[in-house]
Amino acid sequence: MGGTESSISEPGSPSRNRESETSRQNLSECKVWRNPLNLFRGAEYRRYTWVTGKEPLTYYDMNLSAQDHQTFFTCDTDFLRPSDTVMQKAWRERNPPARIKAAYQALELNNDCATAYVLLAEEEATTIVDAERLFKQALKAGETIYRRSQQCQHQSPQHEAQLRRDTNVLVYIKRRLAMCARKLGRIREAVKIMRDLMKEFPPLTMLNIHENLLESLLELQAYADVQAVLAKYDDISLPKSAAICYTAALLKTRTVSDKFSPETASRRGLSTAEINAVEAIHRAVEFNPHVPKYLLEMKSLILPPEHILKRGDSEAIAYAFFHLQHWKRIEGALNLLQCTWEGTFRMIPYPLEKGHLFYPYPSCTETADRELLPTFHHVSVYPKKELPFFINFTAGLCSSTAMIALLTHQFPEIMGVFANASEEFRRLDSAASSRQRRGSIKEWHECRLWSQTAFL
């Protein structure tokens, strides 16, 4: 952005067009998405901090959430309502106690301030039950405000903006209520809320509510319904995710995993169903190669962040955190994954340059994931940048030579003593070897003379 070459290029030149295309590609590769299954700050993230003393969220991640909240829950007409003015400041506040205090101030000004209940449910509630209770109060207030905004939406552009804001608030509340029901074991109720949301607000597909629905349907083991959802959202024109790719692989794996055996497959070859399952696993691994290590428990899981980078380690953690149990439930699914997932890398020997079914793997994931994930987590890197042995050997040899030269320059007398001692040691060792060789020849002649005498 603003580089020298782009400023020199003319507006219509091919070099400028190539640079702009590359910039757009890099921007889309490094785009950070809201985690559809993000946890509750008070009831889950904070409880983790109380127990372990570790902060599961990074400043960068929380700052992105603050920007999301200001986008979803504020609009240009907030200054007309004192409670919304207070909440506008609350979403910008960095200190959690100050945000909670501002939410209570907004409720004192207006007892039907839905966004204030949302903030308290997210950050003050220490259990899912408390969060659900506050979200139900927010739902009651949010529905009233939403109906009022619908009646006034055509009066002015400001009223249209207010309706968009109230729609975002209502959808957010219902979605979080569905997640509360899912966590409390009322899965069918959660599925119903999510289906109703997707029917009532179809334009809001960017919120990825279908990923919440997929996870809940897998918990119900309603695999036919899962396949129906995938048929709609696993489309070439729609953006992919680890949840979509790995769920599709899980469904195909389920049909063959209970009878799969590597020994039998090596003898008779793979059946058509097994080939389809393996290809689905390869497709999923190509999209996000970090997931298998978490599913196979080769790496330890942490709490997922509030934002994820698609095809990155953060997305792999978010997927495996919720879906590992579904893979374990299907007999032989993890065994088939373990036997086949590494075969993906033979099809894409240069993943940063050329992919097989997807675009080349983005090179910016490591940097973004280090910003999103806490410091105590060892970030998974793909592809690993391993240097050849010759380069490592040459670097070590040059470093050793430079160190000896530096020591010789700084301490010439001491290094001279070491050099003389090493030369004397080499001379004595050479003399000892020579004597040993002469002694060996003498012993050989004596043995030969003895053998001839014994023969005679």
Per cent of the chain over pLDDT 90 is: 48
Q: Indicate if the pLDDT at residue 251 is higher than 70.
A: yes
CB-CB contact of 254 with 280 (8 Å): no
Two tokens at 241? 């995710």
| Signed CA dihedral, 229, 242, 127, 204: sign only | negative
Within 8 A by CB and 6+ apart from 77, the residues are 158, 159, 161, 162
- What does the mean pLDDT of the chain come to? 82
Q: Indicate if the pLDDT at residue 64 is higher than 50.
A: yes
Distance (Å, whole) CA 68 – CA 306 = 11
Q: Which of 110, 181, 113 is nearest to 142 (CA)?
A: 113
CB-CB contact of 363 with 352 (8 Å): yes
Average pLDDT on 337-357 reads: 82
Q: What is the pLDDT of residues 155-167, one digit of tens each?
A: 778 778 888 888 9
Q: Indicate if the pLDDT at residue 5 is higher than 50.
A: no
Instruction: Note the pLDDT of residue 439.
Output: 58
Q: Indicate if the pLDDT at residue 39 is higher than 80.
A: yes
Q: Phi, psi (5° rounding) for residue 169?
A: -65, -45
What are the C-alpha distances in Å from 209 to residues 53, 216, 227? 32, 11, 16
Average pLDDT on 64-84 reads: 87
Q: Which residue has the higher pLDDT, 24 or 188?
A: 188
Two tokens at 33? 């998405």
Q: Indicate if the pLDDT at residue 187 is higher than 90.
A: yes
Q: Indicate if the pLDDT at residue 204 is higher than 80.
A: no
Q: What is the pLDDT of residues 394-428, one digit of tens each?
A: 777 788 888 877 777 777 777 677 777 667 667 76
238 pLDDT band (50/70/90 cuts)? confident
Q: Which residue has the higher pLDDT, 147 or 406?
A: 147
Preceding amide of 305 cis, omega within 30: no
Q: Which residues pair with 34 in a beta bridge?
A: 307
Distance (Å, whole) CA 444 – CA 89 = 98
- Burial of residue 447 (CB within 10 Å: 0-12, 13-18, 19+) is exposed
Per cent of the chain over pLDDT 70 is: 83
Q: Indicate if the pLDDT at residue 294 is higher than 90.
A: yes
Q: Indicate if the pLDDT at residue 18 is higher than 50.
A: no
202 pLDDT band (50/70/90 cuts)? confident
Instruction: Note the pLDDT of residue 260.
Output: 82
Pairing state between β 307-309 and 32-34 = antiparallel
| Signed CA dihedral, 20, 21, 22, 28: sign only | positive
Q: Indicate if the pLDDT at residue 453 is higher than 60.
A: no
First to last CA, the chain: 99
Torsion, Cα 158 163 168 173, to 10 degrees, reads 130
Instruction: Note the pLDDT of residue 451.
Output: 47
Distance (Å, whole) CA 161 – CA 156 = 9
Q: Phi, psi (5° rounding) for residue 220?
A: -80, -10
Q: What is the pLDDT of residues 317-345, one digit of tens each?
A: 999 999 999 999 999 899 999 988 888 88
301 pLDDT band (50/70/90 cuts)? very high
Q: Indicate if the pLDDT at residue 348 is higher than 70.
A: yes
Question: Helix (H, G, I), strand (E, B), or coil: what is residue 32?
Answer: strand
What are the C-alpha distances in Å from 8 to residues 11, 12, 17, 280? 9, 12, 13, 47
Q: Which residue has the higher pLDDT, 362 or 55?
A: 55
Q: Indicate if the pLDDT at residue 24 is higher than 90.
A: no
Q: Indicate if the pLDDT at residue 446 is higher than 80.
A: no
Task: Give the distance from CA 110 to its chain's centroid.
Answer: 40
CB-CB contact of 232 with 312 (8 Å): no
Q: Indicate if the pLDDT at residue 253 is higher than 70.
A: yes
Model confidence pTM above 0.75? yes
Question: Helix (H, G, I), strand (E, B), or coil: what is residue 33?
Answer: strand
Q: Which of 221, 245, 217 is nearest to 233 (CA)?
A: 245
